[in-house]
C-alpha cells in the first residue's frame, strides 16, 4: 500500500497545456503544477498564458518556478511545430499534453455558412489533430506520454444549434482512440474528457440568460453547473500513473447529464 501514496504525483514530468490562458486550461495548468509537473502554459493569447504561468510561479512558495508561458495558434501547423520544438529544446522531453481549445457558432445547420463550418472545424478538429500529431511524435520517440483531449457531452447528445460543434467533439474522441491504438505499443496513452456544462468564457453567453442557465443546471443530476476546477481531478488522474492502464477512454465529467433519461421523477 505504501507505493500508492504517490501514484498521482507528477514530479519530474513536463506538461504542455494548450488553452492555458483561461477556463479549464488555466485550472488544468494549476492542478498539474500542484502535483509536481513543470507546466508550459500555451495559448493564442500569449499574455494570458504568461499570466497563468506567473500565478503558478508565485504560488510555488519560494520553490523554483516550474511554469512558463508560450504562444501557439493551433490553426497554424508551423506554430504548433514551433511550440513542441521549443519544449524539446528547453526541457528535453514531453510527458503530458492537455488540449482544451474550442470555439462554437450556435446556428441551425441550414443557416450555417461555409465560413462558420470552416472556423469551428478548423479550431476544434483540425487544431486538435495538429496537436495530436506533434505531441504524439515526440512521445512515441521517448516511448512514454499521456495525451488528454477535451471532448464534450455533445459528442453523445445534441441540441438545436450545436450540430457542427457536436460533430467536432465526436471527431475528437475518434481521433484520440485512433492514436491510442497506434501509439499504445510505444507506451503512449491517449484519452478524452467529456465535460457537461462548465462555467468558462465559452459558456458566458448562456449564463447571461437565466432561463437557459437554469435549464442546463436542472439537467444535471447534481442540479448545478461545474466549476472549471472540478475538471482538475480527472485531468491529473489521466496524466499520472494512477491511470497507467487507461487509454482510448472517454471520461464523462457531466454531473450525470448523459446517464439520466430526463429530469421527471415518476411516482414509484
User: If pLDDT is split at 50, 70 and 90, which confidence band does 232 have?
Assistant: very high
Q: Give residue 202's pLDDT.
A: 73
Residues 43, 50: Cα–Cα separation, whole Å: 9
* Residue 98 · residue 28 · CB < 8 Å: yes
pLDDT in tens, 191-205: 999 999 998 877 777
**Residue 165 is among the residues annotated as catalytic for this protein:** yes
Q: Give residue 211's pLDDT.
A: 87
> Exactly one of 165, 213, 216, 245 is catalytic; which is it?
165
pLDDT in tens, 82-131: 999 999 999 999 999 999 999 999 999 999 999 999 999 999 999 999 99
Q: Which domains are delineated in the chain?
A: 9-197+229-253 (3.40.50.720)
* Residue carrying C-alpha cell 500529431: 133
pLDDT in tens, 239-250: 999 999 999 999
Residues 104, 204: Cα–Cα separation, whole Å: 12
User: Residue 38: pLDDT above 60?
Assistant: yes
pLDDT in tens, 166-217: 999 999 999 999 999 999 999 999 999 999 999 887 777 788 888 888 888 8
Look at strands 188-195 and 250-253 and give their pairing: parallel
List the grid coordinates of 199.
Answer: 462555467
Residues 78, 74: Cα–Cα separation, whole Å: 9
- pLDDT (mean) for 55-81: 85
Give every CB contact of residue 216 below 8 A, 6+ residues apart in sequence.
Answer: 197, 206, 225
List the grid coordinates of 232.
Answer: 482538475
Residues 227, 18: Cα–Cα separation, whole Å: 19
- pLDDT (mean) for 148-161: 96
pTM of the model: 0.94
Q: Give residue 259's pLDDT.
A: 92
Q: Give residue 1's pLDDT.
A: 47
Amino acid at each position: 500500500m505504501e507505493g500508492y501514496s504517490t501514484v498521482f504525483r507528477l514530479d519530474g514530468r513536463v506538461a504542455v497545456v494548450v488553452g492555458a490562458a483561461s477556463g479549464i486550461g488555466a485550472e488544468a495548468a494549476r492542478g498539474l503544477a500542484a502535483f509536481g509537473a513543470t507546466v508550459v502554459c500555451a495559448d493564442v493569447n500569449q499574455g494570458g498564458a504568461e499570466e497563468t504561468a506567473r500565478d503558478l510561479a508565485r504560488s510555488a512558495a519560494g520553490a523554483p518556478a516550474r511554469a512558463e508561458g508560450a504562444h501557439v495558434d493551433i490553426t497554424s501547423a508551423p506554430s504548433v511545430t514551433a511550440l513542441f520544438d521549443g519544449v524539446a529544446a528547453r526541457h528535453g522531453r514531453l510527458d503530458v499534453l492537455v488540449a482544451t481549445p474550442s470555439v462554437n457558432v450556435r446556428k441551425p445547420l441550414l443557416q450555417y455558412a461555409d465560413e462558420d463550418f470552416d472556423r469551428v472545424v478548423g479550431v476544434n478538429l483540425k487544431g486538435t489533430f495538429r496537436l495530436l500529431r506533434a505531441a504524439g511524435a515526440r512521445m512515441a520517440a521517448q516511448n512514454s506520454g499521456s495525451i488528454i483531449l477535451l471532448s464534450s457531452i455533445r459528442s453523445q447528445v445534441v441540441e438545436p444549434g450545436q450540430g457542427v460543434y457536436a460533430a467536432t467533439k465526436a471527431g475528437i474522441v475518434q481521433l484520440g482512440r485512433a492514436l491510442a491504438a497506434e501509439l499504445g505499443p510505444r507506451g503512449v496513452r491517449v484519452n478524452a474528457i467529456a465535460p457537461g456544462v462548465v462555467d468558462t468564457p465559452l459558456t458566458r453567453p448562456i449564463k447571461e440568460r437565466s432561463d437557459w442557465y437554469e435549464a442546463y443546471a436542472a439537467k444535471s443530476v447534481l442540479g448545478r453547473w461545474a466549476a472549471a476546477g472540478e475538471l482538475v481531478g480527472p485531468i491529473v488522474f489521466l496524466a499520472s500513473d494512477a491511470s497507467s492502464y487507461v487509454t482510448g477512454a472517454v471520461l464523462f465529467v457531466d454531473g450525470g447529464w448523459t446517464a439520466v433519461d430526463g429530469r421527471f421523477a415518476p411516482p414509484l
